[in-house]
Amino acid sequence: MLFHSLELLSSNHLELVTKLCPRVEWLSLDSALFYNLEGLGQLPNLKLLRLNYKSRPVDQTVVDFFSLSCHNLTTLQLFDVKEMHMDDLRLTIGQCKCLDTLVLNECSLREDWEHLRSYERGKPLSHSVRMIQLICFQALLPQFVQFVNMFTSLQILETDSRDLDVESLKLILLQQPFLSIFRCPSLIAASLHQLNSLQHLFRHCSLQVATGFEPEIDHTASLAVNLLAEYADFSATLNLGSGR
């Protein structure tokens, strides 16, 4: 079920979704108006969620929905969700115990993202996520590194960040023993010699930073997800090169 940017959403529409389509497995929320998730009840079969929150932070309706319906979620795309706090991450992404693929597009972290946190510092955010894409992700460099290292089973990391340097990338690689592909379609702040040296130290991970290089990503999607990508322009992952 997809709500496009030209469609208007209200709590009544979302309540009808819950009542008429309780077994929905794929849901995309991208309304022309500012909206919240009030009215959206339990969707126990939900596997794929795309949420465009129009430059606003996480609110209580989002937290409530994740608590109700996202325990079986395998793919999550957050678009334009701003000023996320550590508690916001714990109460959304942290609730998704089956999550495999995470895409953050034009999202941002608060500079004081750990201020008055309710959760233990250093506790992993996810043990299940294997693939992350970070597109136009707004975060301070130490936050970026800390955020990535909160995922303990990461295998593929793609980002368009141009702020990474060799030392920051090394901090990520040291904490990610399962990471097999790191891709950045723009040259990070490093010389070719530095990158070659880093590749030699971390042979388990393919460092793919050359512009236009297409990695071979082993990402298995269901038939329904493939159909959505082909006919509804709705993909489980984004094309870093096109910025979509």
Secondary structure of residue 190 in the 3-state scheme: coil
Domain hosting residue 198, numbered range: 2-231
C-beta separation of 172 from 146 below 8 A: no
pLDDT score at 212: 42
- Residue 193's pLDDT band, with cuts at 50, 70 and 90, is confident
Residue 243 lies in a domain: no
pLDDT tens-digit profile of 49-104?
999 999 999 999 999 999 999 999 999 999 999 999 999 999 999 999 999 999 99
Residue 242 lies in a domain: no
Residue 219 lies in a domain: yes
| CA-only gyration radius of the chain, Å | 18
Residue 131 lies in a domain: yes
Residue 237 lies in a domain: no
First to last CA, the chain: 20
Measured CA to CA, the distance from residue 126 to residue 152 in angstroms comes to 7
pTM of the model: 0.88
Angle at 7 between CA 4 and CA 9, to 5 degrees: 105
Which CATH number characterizes residue 72's domain?
3.80.10.10
- Residue 23's pLDDT band, with cuts at 50, 70 and 90, is very high
Residue 241 lies in a domain: no
Residue 90 lies in a domain: yes
C-beta separation of 138 from 107 below 8 A: yes
Residue 236 has pLDDT above 60, yes or no: yes
* Non-local CB neighbours of 11 within 8 Å, separated by 6+ positions: 36, 38, 39
Residue 136 lies in a domain: yes
Measured CA to CA, the distance from residue 186 to residue 243 in angstroms comes to 12
* Non-local CB neighbours of 156 within 8 Å, separated by 6+ positions: 130, 131, 132, 179, 180, 181, 183, 215, 217, 219
Query: How many domains are there within the chain?
Result: 1
Residue 48 has pLDDT above 90, yes or no: yes
Residue 244 has pLDDT above 60, yes or no: no
